[in-house]
């Protein structure tokens, strides 16, 4: 095999996975930036989005309409979540909101399970195949699943649009002000409720798009599928710089790269063609980077997270977190 | 005052619990036969347990419609264990003490069996496992445990021998590290395959909830020479994406797997990519390619629940219930020792997942293993195989 | 601060303990495994919640990773008590010094091996907690919550991978069922007493002070690190004990048991009862365990599977929104006042 092609292939893998994580993480980061709320129910929002899309497609609606329903439905659920569960506890210690988000997630998960059973749909639910998102693009020996390319493109487009919105529009400016200092923003006459609702709406919308891509990859839906994405989104947001959109994006790609790296490098001693490197190097690789390291991937990622929290709480982007006055 | 109110609330809850728990009548020498159905209907295992529970309940309904067993109706009491081991242990005790069941069926995973087994064994009641395939379980629990399905060591051996004979000596092994079933299956495959003289050229793992396998695939692609076949030990919710992504990446060699592949999702998710895929399973759950019994089952399942059986576990739950009913009939009574003896003398019971034969020293059926091949987007019968040698549990 | 002995002060708690002993004896004698199991679960959860209260409720440092300590305690104690034959069967690759160890010895009818194994496991976990605490206690607020969550995940990954010690994803089984009502409630009462005394001591007041306002506390000379760290380590010790009790009750487990679901359930009990209140923890545990069981039966009867989790989550949200300090807040039920003349 060609080491260059291998590296290139893994790089593209990392970018695609990174785009997905970035989309998921931005929603989380926006809400945290303004409210200091870690919304663990974000993953369940994604799950709801996937179910909306699935049911719309089962009803034989054309794809654009199904996507529209999915996005609108998810935004609605996100807004309701904000109004009912999070607004009443604004101003409470951060931990209260974090715990509440767990509870909200439980309600969403079990509610979906109940409804799925009542509608006599199977669980797990097979996600309908979407023609244009299946298949691969092949460039010589490098193959990229189409859905990964779409993730990459969609991710970049949406994130560019988002940054334009945040920097150019009034509402976006208000959001940045609120993220900087919530109380000062209020004093300046900014309608906090509107800003927060917008943050939730945008976050939910982005999560919905990420959910669609994720569901296409996974092929199957269960009410509990949101758990892993939210964990990844969360790690991405923290590593990149929690509370900032730029941080979430950077973190998403960083996490994607880290994960692919942790899968691609261990075991590389086994796949190098003989003669490419000297036998000593190969043995070194086999002993110190055995394939079994891959299963420790999650642990490594969390260690990186903790190190980041300890030494650089601002994340890769490095925006200085204001001191927590408890 | 508020403290008093609180304490009174607490006691009210406890009191209502006691009242609720003192139910569970029935049984006796006539009246319905109480059978416990333990399943994790909510929680991470629900994608396997829910179909199994559906299958078992369908079976009970059919049996009752045909007159019941020994002239008595079957009362299948299903409790949801929520895939929580504490609840599972409590449910087992509930079956024994409050529901007063004569036997228990259920579960598709070893954790739940191990959490509930000791209680049921201590009570001396027969326990028929629908879908957990770890062959160590009878030794871990005791002699009242019976399987309706074959053990992982059996199907892995078949997979290894099939691959070795038909494709060659070099294999790639990929397995899900987070689940016992896939870990065991991969381990048994490796041991049988290397015993035959095969070589595993690359071994890799993925996390249970992964949806993107591009990193592992890139490694496999980068091998200096592609192996003769790929053995991928995966759960039903991963097989679709795994197969699809492997094929999309240009890895067209044969893929062999275990009964986790037995789900219609592999066809719907992987689509035309699912060619040249083989897997061992209990029986072919397919409305066109299956046996008469399977076709009837699929139709009945669809009529009852509104959709096709999700995976093979639906059929296993169905068979477990029928197996138990058959044993009770042959025992002529609902006494546990009599049922046990009847179970142990089961010979070629016509389950829809294959003929089940049990004996006093084999509580795991010596079923033939069905090798399914996916050709032209359909499940077809590859072969009915019995392994030459089986790795020890 | 010595308390003068008076029947009024001691009478209340003593009567409660007496009542408990009567209930436990009746339960034990009845042979009703279901109710015994319920009470064992009650006791184990009580130990978990009290320990978490010590760490989270008193010091305000929110640890989401305590179940990781429970997992380590469970595995460590089980590996120690597993008899030689089972060790050979299920853990064939243990390193030499561990393979020969089997804490299944008795002192007459008393399973001293079980006690020794529990203590050793708990000390081992406390040392780990000390290291973790030193690293993580500098953080605060949601950062420490997040970092401890990371600890939970790391523990799980390590347990999955160290399969020579833990059997990895394969279930760890055939643990000897030492745990019974007496063990659980003896430990529970011990933890109850210790946490109660800590709360009443100057040390406890220091903890509560720096929970209320970290900077104010520091400004009057209360050191922040030592109380936090000590509370963290003590709570880890007892959480590990709970892990050992759990392991020897349920006799089989795998790393999946000790993860978010269990964490959330314990936190629910803590929040419902009131962070910072010892009797609140008792009430919270009884309420949630009782409710969960009641709802489970309702689920089975109505086939509305999933409704119990929804209702419990809604109650949780309700409490957080309307009565954030929990049912009891930081107050306690004063048992001695029950005996006062009205």
Strands B127-129 and B145-147 come out as parallel
pLDDT, mean of residues B164-170 = 91
- Residue C198 C-alpha, separation from nearest chain B C-alpha, in angstroms: 23
Tokens found for residue B87: 């609840």
For the cut 70, the answer to whether the pLDDT of residue B17 exceeds it is no
Q: Are A85 and C318 in contact (CB under 8 A)?
A: no
The pLDDT of residue B162: 92
Interface of A with B in 70-109 (CB under 8 A): none
Query: How would you class C338 by CB atoms within 10 Å of its CB: exposed for 0-12, middle for 13-18, buried for 19 or more?
Result: middle
The better pLDDT of the pair C322, A94 is held by: C322
B33-39 vs B74-80, strand pairing mode: parallel
For C24-59, b/e burial (b = at least 16 CB within 10 A) is: beebeeeebbbbbbbbbbbbbbbbbbbbbbbbbbbb
Please list every residue in chain A whose beta carbon sits closer than 8 Å to the beta carbon of residue C219.
none
Cβ atoms B192, B160 nearer than 8 A: yes
**pLDDT, mean of residues B352-379:** 84
**For chain B, the helix, strand and coil percentages under 3-state DSSP, each to the nearest 5:** 45, 20, 35
Q: How many C-beta atoms lie closer than 10 Å to residue C228's C-beta?
A: 26
Neighbouring CB atoms inside 10 A of B29's CB total 7
Tokens of C32: 């009703």
Residue where the block lists tokens 């745990």? C179
Mean pLDDT of chain B: 86
DSSP A183: H
Q: Is B90 on the interface with C (CB under 8 A)?
A: yes
Alpha helix locations (H) across chain B? 2-21, 46-65, 85-93, 110-122, 137-141, 152-166, 180-196, 214-221, 236-248, 265-270, 292-305, 312-331, 336-344
Do B80 and C300 lie within an 8 Å CB cutoff?
Answer: yes
Specify the CATH number for A2-325; select among 1.10.3470, 2.30.30, 3.30.70, 3.30.2310.
1.10.3470
For residue B128, pLDDT beyond 90: yes
Give chain A's residues under pLDDT 70.
1-2, 94, 123, 267, 269-271, 273-276, 291-292, 318-326
Residue B28 has pLDDT above 60, yes or no: no
Alpha-carbon span C81 to C248, nearest angstrom? 9
Q: Output the DSSP codes for B336-365.
A: HHHHHHHHHT--SEEETTEEE--BTTB-S-
Angle at C180 between CA C176 and CA C184, to 5 degrees: 115
Instruction: Write the CA distances from B171 to B146, B233, B305, integer angstroms.
Output: 34, 13, 41
| Residue C6: band (very low, low, confident or very high) from pLDDT cuts 50, 70, 90 | low
pTM of the predicted protein model = 0.86
Mean pLDDT of B51-76: 93
Beta carbons of B165 and B155 less than 8 angstroms apart: no
Pair A239, A305: CB distance under 8 Å: yes
Length of chain A: 326
Decide: helix, strand or coil at residue A167: helix
Between A245 and B129, whose confidence is greater? Answer: B129
Domains and CATH numbers, chain C: 2-341 (1.10.3470)
Strand order in the sheet with B277-281: B199-206, B170-176, B229-233, B255-257, B277-281, B369-375, B378-385
* pLDDT digit string, tens, across residues C189-217: 999 999 888 888 877 777 776 666 666 66
Residues of chain A positioned with their CB less than 8 A from the CB of B203: 267, 291
Q: Which range scores top for mean pLDDT: C116-125, C168-177, C203-212, C278-287?
A: C116-125
Place of tokens 């994720």: A214
A255 neighbourhood in chain C, CB within 8 Å: none
- Which residues are within 8 A (CB) of B285 and not within 5 positions of it... i.e. 6 or more apart? B262, B264, B294, B298, B309, B311, B312, B314, B315, B379
CA distance C190 to B382: 64
Residue C3 scores a pLDDT above 90: no
Sequence-separated (6 or more) residues with CB below 8 Å from residue B218? A6, A9, A10, A13, A264, B249
Which pLDDT score, from 0 to 100, does residue A323 have?
41
Looking at residue A322, what is its pLDDT? 46
**Which whole number is the average pLDDT over C101-128?**
86
Under a CB-based contact definition with an 8 Å cutoff, are residues B110 and B117 in contact?
no
B194 vs B192: CA distance, rounded Å: 6
Provide DSSP, C275-339.
Answer: TT-HHHHHHHHHHHHHHHHHHHHHHHHHT-TTHHHHHHHHHHHHHHHH-TTTTTTT----GGGGG
pLDDT in tens, C264-276: 889 889 888 887 7
Report residue B287 as tokens.
């409305």
Q: Which residues contact C335 (CB under 8 A, 6 or more apart)?
A: C12, C13, C15, C16
Asked whether B193 and B157 are in contact (CB, 8 A), the reply is no
Q: Concatenated DSSP letters for C116-166? A: HHHHHHHHHHHHHHHHHHHHHTT--THHHHHHHHHHHHHHHHHHHH-HHHH
Residues 141-160 of A with CB under 8 A from B: 141, 143, 145, 148
Q: Radius of gyration over alpha carbons of chain C, in Å?
A: 20
pLDDT at residue number B44: 75
**Residue A246: per-residue pLDDT:** 83
* Per-residue pLDDT at A326: 31
Picking from C135, C305, C324, the nearest residue to A96 by CB comes out as: C324
Mark yes or no for CB contact A305/C305 under 8 Å: no
Give per-residue pLDDT as tens, B300-347: 999 998 888 888 889 999 999 999 999 999 999 889 999 999 999 988
Give pLDDT, residue C341.
Answer: 43
Residue carrying structure tokens 């790609």:
A253
3-class DSSP string for C13-81: HHHHHHHHHHHHHHHHHHCCHHHHHHHHHHHHHHHHHHHHHHHHHHHCCCCCCHHHHHHHHHHHHHHHH
Which pLDDT belongs to residue C242?
96
Candidates C62, C138, C309; nearest CB to A95: C62
Token pair, residue A298, equals 């999650």
Letter string b/e over residues A281-298, b meaning 16 or more CB atoms within 10 A of that residue's CB: ebeebeeebebebbbbbb
User: What SS3 class is residue B253?
Assistant: coil
Q: Which H/E stretch holds residue C186?
A: helix C181-200
Q: Which residue has the higher pLDDT, C54 or C336?
A: C54
pLDDT at position C1 over 60: no
Closest-CA distance, C22 to chain A, in angstroms, reads 37
Percentage with pLDDT > 90 across chain C = 27
β-strand partners of B203: B173
Give pairs for A307-312: CB < 8 Å, separation 24+.
Answer: A308/A238, A308/A239, A309/A238, A309/C139, A309/C143, A309/C146, A309/C147, A310/C135, A310/C136, A310/C138, A310/C139, A310/C147
* Chain A closest-CA separation from residue C324 CA (Å): 8
Is the CA virtual torsion C239, C241, C245, C247 positive or negative?
positive
Question: Comparing B1 with C231, which gets the higher pLDDT?
Answer: C231
Task: Please tell me if residue A124 touches chain B, with a CB cutoff of 8 Å.
Answer: yes
DSSP code for B264: T
Greatest mean pLDDT among B171-180, C118-127, C296-305 lies in C118-127
For residue C329, what pLDDT is reported?
Answer: 67
CA distance C303 to C93: 45
Q: What gap in Å lies between CA C256 and CA B207, rounded to an integer? A: 13
* Chain C positions in Cβ-Cβ contact with residue B97 (cut-off 8 Å): 32-34
Q: What is the ipTM of this complex?
A: 0.85
Residues forming beta bridges with residue B229, ordered by sequence position: B171
Which among C313, C323, C329 is the top mutation candidate for probing chain A, defined by the most A β-carbons within 10 Å of its own β-carbon?
C313
The residues spanned by each domain of chain A are: 2-325
Write down the residue that tokens 């329903």 correspond to: A69
C96 CB neighbour count, 10 Å cutoff: 6
Terminal Cα-to-Cα distance of chain A (whole angstroms): 56
Chain C hits for A103, CB-CB cut-off 8 Å, are 264, 268, 313-314, 316-317, 320
Binary contact (C305, A92; C-beta < 8 A): no
Asked whether the predicted pLDDT for residue B191 surpasses 60, the reply is yes
Q: Give residue C342's pLDDT.
A: 41
């Amino acid at each position: 095999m060609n080491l260059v092609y291998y590296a290139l292939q893994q790089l593209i893998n990392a970018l695609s996975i990174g785009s997905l994580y970035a989309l998921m993480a931005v929603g989380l980061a926006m809400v945290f930036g303004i409210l200091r709320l870690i919304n663990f129910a974000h993953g369940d929002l994604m799950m709801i989005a996937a179910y909306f899309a699935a049911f719309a497609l089962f009803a034989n609606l054309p794809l654009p309409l199904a996507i529209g329903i999915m996005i609108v439905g998810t935004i609605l659920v996100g807004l309701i979540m904000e109004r009912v569960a999070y607004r009443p506890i604004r101003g409470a210690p951060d931990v209260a909101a974090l715990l509440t988000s767990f509870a909200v997630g439980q309600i969403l998960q079990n509610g979906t399970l109940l409804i799925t059973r009542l509608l006599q749909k199977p669980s797990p639910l097979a996600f309908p195949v979407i023609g244009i998102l299946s298949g691969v693009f092949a460039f010589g020996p490098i193959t990229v699943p189409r859905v990964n390319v779409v993730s990459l493109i969609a991710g970049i487009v949406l994130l560019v649009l988002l940054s334009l919105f945040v920097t150019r529009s009034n509402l976006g400016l208000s959001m940045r002000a609120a993220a900087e200092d919530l109380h000062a923003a209020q004093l300046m006459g900014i309608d906090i409720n509107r800003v927060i609702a917008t943050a939730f709406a945008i976050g939910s919308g982005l999560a919905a798009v990420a959910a669609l891509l994720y569901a296409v990859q996974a092929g199957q839906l269960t009410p509990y599928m949101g758990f892993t994405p939210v964990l990844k989104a969360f790690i991405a947001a923290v590593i990149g710089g929690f509370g900032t959109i730029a941080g979430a994006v950077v973190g998403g790609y960083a996490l994607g790269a880290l994960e692919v790296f942790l899968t691609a490098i261990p075991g590389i001693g086994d796949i190098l063609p003989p003669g490419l490197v000297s036998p000593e190097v190969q043995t070194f690789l086999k002993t110190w980077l055995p394939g079994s390291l891959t299963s420790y991937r999650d642990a490594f990622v969390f260690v990186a997270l903790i190190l980041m929290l300890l030494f650089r709480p601002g994340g890769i982007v490095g925006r200085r977190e204001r001191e927590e006055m408890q | 005052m508020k403290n008093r109110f609180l304490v009174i609330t607490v006691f009210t809850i406890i009191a209502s619990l006691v009242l609720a728990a003192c139910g569970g009548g029935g049984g006796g020498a006539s009246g319905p036969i109480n059978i416990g159905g333990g399943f994790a209907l909510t929680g991470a295992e629900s994608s396997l347990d829910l179909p199994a529970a559906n299958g078992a309940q369908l079976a009970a309904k059919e049996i009752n419609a045909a007159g019941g067993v020994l002239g008595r109706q079957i009362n299948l009491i299903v409790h949801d264990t929520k895939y929580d081991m504490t609840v599972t242990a409590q449910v087992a005790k509930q079956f024994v003490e409050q529901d007063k069941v004569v036997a228990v069926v259920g579960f598709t995973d070893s954790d739940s069996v191990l959490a509930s087994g000791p209680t049921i064994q201590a009570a001396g009641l027969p326990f028929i496992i629908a879908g957990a395939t770890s062959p160590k379980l009878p030794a871990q629990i005791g002699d009242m445990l019976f399987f309706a399905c074959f053990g992982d060591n059996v199907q892995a051996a078949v997979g290894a021998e099939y691959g070795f004979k038909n494709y060659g000596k070099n294999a790639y092994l990929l397995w899900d590290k987070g689940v016992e079933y896939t870990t065991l299956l991969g381990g048994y495959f490796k041991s049988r395959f290397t015993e035959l003289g095969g070589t595993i050229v690359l071994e890799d793992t993925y996390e249970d909830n992964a949806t993107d396998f591009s990193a592992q695939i890139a490694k496999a692609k980068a091998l200096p020479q592609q192996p003769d076949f790929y053995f991928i030990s995966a759960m039903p919710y991963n097989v679709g994406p795994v197969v699809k992504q492997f094929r999309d990446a240009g890895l067209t060699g044969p893929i062999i797997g275990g009964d986790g592949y037995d789900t219609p999702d592999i066809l719907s998710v992987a689509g035309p990519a699912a060619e040249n895929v083989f897997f061992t399973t209990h029986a072919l759950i397919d409305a066109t390619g299956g046996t008469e019994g399977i076709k009837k089952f699929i139709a009945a399942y669809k009529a009852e629940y509104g959709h096709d059986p999700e995976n093979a576990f639906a059929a296993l739950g169905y068979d477990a219930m029928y197996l138990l009913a058959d044993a009770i009939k042959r025992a002529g009574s609902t006494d546990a020792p009599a049922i046990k003896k009847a179970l142990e003398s089961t010979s070629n019971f016509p389950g829809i997942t294959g003929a089940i034969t049990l004996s006093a020293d084999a509580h795991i059926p010596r079923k033939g293993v069905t090798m399914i091949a996916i050709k032209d987007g359909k499940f077809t019968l590859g072969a009915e195989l019995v392994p030459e040698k089986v790795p020890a549990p | 601060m010595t308390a003068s002995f008076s029947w009024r002060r001691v009478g209340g708690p003593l009567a409660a303990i007496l009542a408990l002993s009567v209930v436990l004896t009746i339960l034990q004698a009845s042979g009703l495994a279901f109710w015994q199991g319920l009470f064992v679960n009650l006791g184990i959860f009580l130990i978990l919640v009290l320990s978490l209260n010590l760490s989270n409720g008193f010091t305000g440092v929110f640890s989401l990773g305590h179940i990781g300590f429970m997992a380590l305690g469970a595995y460590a104690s089980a590996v120690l008590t597993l008899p030689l034959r089972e060790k050979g069967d299920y853990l064939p690759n243990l390193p030499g010094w561990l393979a020969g160890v089997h804490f299944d010895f008795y002192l007459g009818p008393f399973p001293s091996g079980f006690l020794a194994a529990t203590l050793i496991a708990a000390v081992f976990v406390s040392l780990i907690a000390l290291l973790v605490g030193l690293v993580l206690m500098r953080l605060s607020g949601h950062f420490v919550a997040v970092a401890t969550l990371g600890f939970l995940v790391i523990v799980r990954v390590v347990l999955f991978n160290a399969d020579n010690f833990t059997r990895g994803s394969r279930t760890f089984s055939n643990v000897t069922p030492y745990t019974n009502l007496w063990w659980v409630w003896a430990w529970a009462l011990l933890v109850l007493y210790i946490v109660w005394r800590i709360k009443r001591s100057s040390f406890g007041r220091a903890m509560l002070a720096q929970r209320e306002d970290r900077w104010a506390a520091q400004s009057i000379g209360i050191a922040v690190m030592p109380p936090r760290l000590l509370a963290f380590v003590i709570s880890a010790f007892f959480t590990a004990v709970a892990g050992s009790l759990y392991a020897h009750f349920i006799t089989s487990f795998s790393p999946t048991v000790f993860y978010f679901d269990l964490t959330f359930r314990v936190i629910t009990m803590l929040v419902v009862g009131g962070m910072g209140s010892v009797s609140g923890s008792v009430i919270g545990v009884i309420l949630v365990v009782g409710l969960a069981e009641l709802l489970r039966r309702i689920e089975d009867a109505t086939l509305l599977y999933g409704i119990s989790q929804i209702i419990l989550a809604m109650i949780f949200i309700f409490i957080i929104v309307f009565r954030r300090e929990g049912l009891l807040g930081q107050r306690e039920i004063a048992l001695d006042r029950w005996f006062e003349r009205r």
